[in-house]
Amino acid sequence: MEISKIRNFSIIAHIDHGKSTLADRLLQLTGTISERDMQEQVLDAMDLERERGVTIKASAVRMQYAAQDGETYEMNLIDTPGHVDFSYEVSRALQACEGALLVVDSTQGIEAQTLANLYMALEQDLEIIAVVNKTDLPAARPDEIAQEIEDLIGLDAADVLQVSAKTGANVDRILEAIVRKIPPPKGDPDAPARALIFDSHYDAYKGVIAYVRVVDGTITKADTLRLMASRAEILPVEIGIFNPNMQPIDSLSVGEVGYIATGLKTVRECRVGDTVTVAGHGAQKPLPGYKQAKPMVFAGFYPSDNDDYDDLRDALEKLQLNDASLIYEPETSQALNFGFRVGFLGLFHMEIVQERLEREYDLDILATAPSVEYQVVLHDGEVLNIHSPSDLPDPSTISEIREPWMAIEIFTPEDYIGPIMDLVTKKRGEYVSMDYLDSKRVQLKYKIPLAELIVDFYDRLKSGTKGYASLDYHFDSYRPEKLVKLDVLVNKHPVDALAMIVHEDEAYRKGTRLVSKLKRLIPRQLYEVPIQAAVGKTVISRANVKALRKDVLAKCYGGDVTRKKKLLEKQKKGKKRLKMIGNVEVPQEAFMAVLRLDDDG
Amino acid sequence: MFPQLAQQRDNPCARTMTTQPTSMITPPASLALYVHIPFCQTRCTYCAFNTYTGQNNLILRYMRALERELAFVGPQAEAPVATIYFGGGTPSLVPPDAIRSFIRRAGEIVTLLPDPEITLEANPGTVDESTLRDLRRAGVNRLSIGMQSADAGELRLFARRHDVEDVRRTVALARRAGFANISLDLIYGVPGQSLSTWQHSLRAALAMNPDHLSMYSLGIEDGTPMQRWIERGALAAPNPDRAADMIEWATGYLVAQGFAQYEISNWSRPGRESRHNLHYWRNLPYLGLGAGAHGYAARTRYSTVLLPAEYIARIEAQGAPLAYPLSAAAVESEPIDAQTAMTEHMIMGLRLTGEGVAAADFRARYGRDLWDVFGAELAALLAAGLIERTPDDRVRLTPRGRLLGNHVFAAFV
């Protein structure tokens, strides 16, 4: 395809603002997919994505569009993940495009992450086509929202397209706008080949499939290719395009989007952001912006049943094939035995991984409360990176503990400023600024410790604002804080998996709440079980789980034998999910209690 | 402390079993016969049994179906019948003639051992003196009367149709009609019940001079009104600690009154244990007749169709013969292998607080040594102080284990 007839674009939208439905419509209008094959939301391949209404893995589809000017255009829609944890992946996907559709729900208005992604697109000089969606809904305020977009980014409100992806109304105008407004790719067809990897997935037969945008030159199936950051050299198994299924072709030339089946065994050798060139006489300079994914959140994953350890390891290995940002290493806990400390891009990423392990690999996982990476400066000047409270060295050797702080942005109707201020203050946050987006909505900026952000902050923000607030965050800096380790002792034994690092001023409050939560969560045992919270050797809170006195089934006659036996079996099965700590049975929920310390009751 | 052990020597049925133990190979010495009467005037708020209201018009046809079912299954019975138990539901709704007819037919179809125990569950206020006399004459020699409580508030909560006065009158009439063996049922651990209302109920029951007492800690069953009330927050959930206080008080009181506990929920005067129920707890075979009845015979546990009308239809149609012990009414059956039988033996046998599980009996029944089969489980329970081993090599619950029975039983499943 002639480079002037290529259009590469992505869609920037908030969760539920209709990105997937719109993508479906575009595929239908361009005849890329027949009505019969039309599965709702074709682009989201995984069940999990469909259920959560978010896109986890980006995908790229080539469409052929016969425009009103009589020409046929090759359009590449590059999908992007919809969550802040994946902002690096979003930035790479945007880098592969010349334009973006900004899709905003006409009943909701623009949200924090959307704006963050939009700024990212603007920084990369992408042409923006603004679309307000869901105009078919009775609560739609398309003109108002269009005005909001004008106020925010200076696009003329009159140019904002008003569509309904659901009914299809005006969707054709989007295709025309893409042709007219988004510039064709620039690039040197004769330069040594350079292609940007903006996503990848693992295929059992073809190895890692790299999703690429060719920036300069041409890549053919016969070339030996080199990945400039990982230095891997490959002979492609296959080169092709998505339309939307994988279709092999002979070459990909400048400006085009497609895939390279690399034959590589793990996505770690084929990272998002890396540059593909040809081996030998390839490009000298990689494309800008490559970063190694850096996990921000860490949690211990343990199999509920110790016998499943090998299965868990295999499952993590398999997930990692597809998820270069997932890291893990073996970890041993006195309480939970053998498991893994797993690093994630964010809390959302952690939830997805946990769900996939449970759903796709049928594993019962016990996840400890998430932790962040602390920098511990020792008296001798050494700096340790600590991912788990139990790794904290002897306090007498520590000169300083630093924790990661995040800069956050919250978009909210002004009615909820008060509750948000309260929430942020409770979480040790600092106010930065407040700006009105329009007459009713404000943009709040704060700085807040990541450790506070990952513990129920998002849920509380949502519930405190009836779901209206949206959140974006990014790393700000490490700051020294007065942090201490809060130990929990069950039946006088310290339980490593329940320890947490907390601010000194909060230790008493958190310790007391944790103890009272645990008291309710730990079932009564045959003996009284004391539960204590301690900082160093000082016990700051204590409660007793009273001994169980009576549990016996009152009636068991001839008709009851089978039923009662099943009841006992069920009871016993339930117990298998409990972890024995010393001689105390502790349920799974106890290890997550730390996450709900601020719940009422 | 456990007079029922001594008492067995006077009990012909029990003696047969101890001196000539049943085994998986040799046929058991006796069978028990359970007859389910699924009819009630109204449903109690805690009840999850297979019972129906408004179908009393079916009773006579149902009773004929019972005889037919017994005629079908009974001739193949592997042992003579030692006990018959009419449970429900409300068996006292059945006309005494129909009970008499059934017992007479039973005598023709199966071999009844001499001096069979024949129990009928009766609700206070549902029987008058002549009915009681007729029942006695029909052969019923034991009455189990659903007293439940002496507290008017608790009886209202249960939606019982009687007051404590009705119970007294029924007991008195039964004595006059010649019943020498009367059991009362009581419920404790009831939301809102205090230790003092419980004491009042138990004293009221003792004042009626029963021979046997069943005291049930209230269990909240799925699908009952009580469960819905608790779910909605209209009623407090039973508090197991308070129930423990109640049963601990009752234990001391009953011992002082000359009663002995022989099962987790059952107490009696010497020699007045329920022979029929002992049969269950000793894991011995029984036939279950009627709608929603359960049986265990020829190494098979089975149950029958729940709806009375469907039961009647199946029995009247007779259908293709099924292998003993199943009748045309059977809907579920499960073969019990040796391992399962041993597990069930522990779960049931350890409920017997006095006799527990005897190693000798276990060996005679299953050809295996109790301590080989369950050594690890028993050792853990002994260490936890939940069971004890007697000098004559029985294991049984300790006083603490009696309250924590689920902990004990769960070890064997």
Q: What is the ipTM of this complex?
A: 0.82
Confidence band (pLDDT; 50, 70, 90) for A556? confident
Select from B234, B252, B281 the last residue of a domain.
B281
User: Residues 6 or more apart from B49 whose CB is under 8 A from it?
Assistant: B38, B88, B89, B292
Domain encompassing residue A319: 297-368
At residue A154, the pLDDT reads 84
Q: φ and ψ at B95, to 5 degrees?
A: -60, 135
CATH code of B173's domain: 3.80.30.20
Within-domain flag for B252: yes
B272 and B390 both lie in a single domain = no
A199 and A313 both lie in a single domain = no
Select from A216, A246, A278 the last residue of a domain.
A278
Confirm or reject contact between B382 and chain A (CB < 8 A): no
Within-domain flag for B262: yes
Within-domain flag for A289: no
At residue A58, the pLDDT reads 44
Confirm or reject contact between B46 and chain A (CB < 8 A): no
Q: What CA–CA distance (Å, rounded) separates A517 from A282? A: 61
- Which residues in A lie closer than 8 A to residue B413 (C-beta atoms)? 565, 568-569, 572
Confirm or reject contact between B407 and chain A (CB < 8 A): yes
B381 and B269 both lie in a single domain = no
Residues A55-80, mean pLDDT to the nearest whole number? 84
- Partnered with residue A447 across adjacent β-strands are A407, A430
CATH code of A413's domain: 3.30.70.240
Tens-digit pLDDT profile for residues B200-222: 999 999 999 999 999 999 999 99
At residue A404, the pLDDT reads 96
Among candidates A550, A558, A571 on the partner chain, residue whose Cβ is nearest the Cβ of B243: A550
Tokens of B237: 């959930």
User: Do A554 and B280 count as a contact with CB atoms less than 8 A apart?
Assistant: no
CA distances from A318 to A192, A324, A365, B181 (A): 35, 11, 16, 70
At residue A50, the pLDDT reads 47
B75 and B216 both lie in a single domain = yes
A379 and A360 both lie in a single domain = no
Tens-digit pLDDT profile for residues A154-178: 889 999 999 999 898 999 999 999 9
At residue B384, the pLDDT reads 93
- Which residues in A lie closer than 8 A to residue B264 (C-beta atoms)? 552, 554, 556
Within-domain flag for A583: yes
Chain A residue closest in CA terms to B300: A562
Q: What CA–CA distance (Å, rounded) separates B304 from A337? A: 48
A16 and A152 both lie in a single domain = yes
A155 and A18 both lie in a single domain = yes
- Which residues in A lie closer than 8 A to residue B286 (C-beta atoms)? 558
Confidence band (pLDDT; 50, 70, 90) for B27? low
- Which residues in B lie closer than 8 A to residue A583 (C-beta atoms)? none
List B residues 91-150 in contact with A (Cβ-Cβ < 8 A). Answer: none
Within-domain flag for A94: yes
CA B54 from chain center: how many Å?
25
A346 and A323 both lie in a single domain = yes
Residues A491-513, mean pLDDT to the nearest whole number? 91
A333 and A449 both lie in a single domain = no
Predicted confidence (pLDDT) at residue B9 exceeds the cutoff of 50: no
Confidence band (pLDDT; 50, 70, 90) for A402? very high
B222 and B131 both lie in a single domain = yes
Within-domain flag for B20: no
Query: What total of structural domains would you count in chain A?
Result: 5
Tens-digit pLDDT profile for residues A175-205: 999 999 999 999 999 999 999 999 888 888 8
Select from B227, B258, B281 the last residue of a domain.
B281
On average, the pLDDT of chain A sits at 88
A159 and A21 both lie in a single domain = yes
CATH code of A534's domain: 3.30.70.2570
B69 and B171 both lie in a single domain = yes
Residues B101-113, mean pLDDT to the nearest whole number? 97
A36 and A143 both lie in a single domain = yes
Q: Whole-angstrom distance between the N-terminal and C-terminal Cα of chain B?
A: 30
CA A571 from chain center: how many Å?
36
Query: What total of structural domains would you count in chain B?
Result: 2
CA distances from B276 to A438, A552, B32, B92, B350 (A): 81, 22, 6, 18, 17
A306 and A233 both lie in a single domain = no
Which of residues A59 and A343 earns the better pLDDT score?
Answer: A343
- Which residues in B lie closer than 8 A to residue A545 (C-beta atoms)? none
Angle at B256 between CA B250 and CA B261, to 5 degrees: 55
At residue B13, the pLDDT reads 39
A39 and A57 both lie in a single domain = yes
Q: pLDDT > 70: what percent of chain A?
A: 94
Strand, coil or helix: what is B401? Answer: helix
User: Do B405 and A551 count as a contact with CB atoms less than 8 A apart?
Assistant: yes
Q: How close does chain B come to A524, measured CA to CA in Å?
A: 11
B49 and B144 both lie in a single domain = yes
A213 and A330 both lie in a single domain = no
Domain encompassing residue B400: 356-410
At residue B25, the pLDDT reads 42
User: Do B406 and A526 count as a contact with CB atoms less than 8 A apart?
Assistant: no
At residue B99, the pLDDT reads 98
Among candidates B34, B219, B303 on the partner chain, residue whose Cβ is nearest the Cβ of A554: B219
At residue B142, the pLDDT reads 98
Residues A123-151, mean pLDDT to the nearest whole number? 92
B276 and B379 both lie in a single domain = no
- Which residues in A lie closer than 8 A to residue B351 (C-beta atoms)? 556
Confidence band (pLDDT; 50, 70, 90) for A472? confident
Residues B103-112, mean pLDDT to the nearest whole number? 96
Within-domain flag for A286: no
Within-domain flag for A186: no
Select from A449, A481, A513 the last residue of a domain.
A481
On average, the pLDDT of chain B sits at 92
Confidence band (pLDDT; 50, 70, 90) for A578? confident
Select from A352, A368, A384 the last residue of a domain.
A368
pTM of the predicted model as reported, rounded to 2 decimal places: 0.67
Least confident of A528-542, A582-596, B4-18: B4-18
Predicted confidence (pLDDT) at residue A282 exceeds the cutoff of 70: yes
Q: Please name the amino acid found at residue A37.
A: D
Within-domain flag for A283: no
At residue A306, the pLDDT reads 83
User: Do B241 and A549 count as a contact with CB atoms less than 8 A apart?
Assistant: yes
Confidence band (pLDDT; 50, 70, 90) for A54? very low
Confirm or reject contact between B243 and chain A (CB < 8 A): yes
Select from B254, B281, B308 the last residue of a domain.
B281
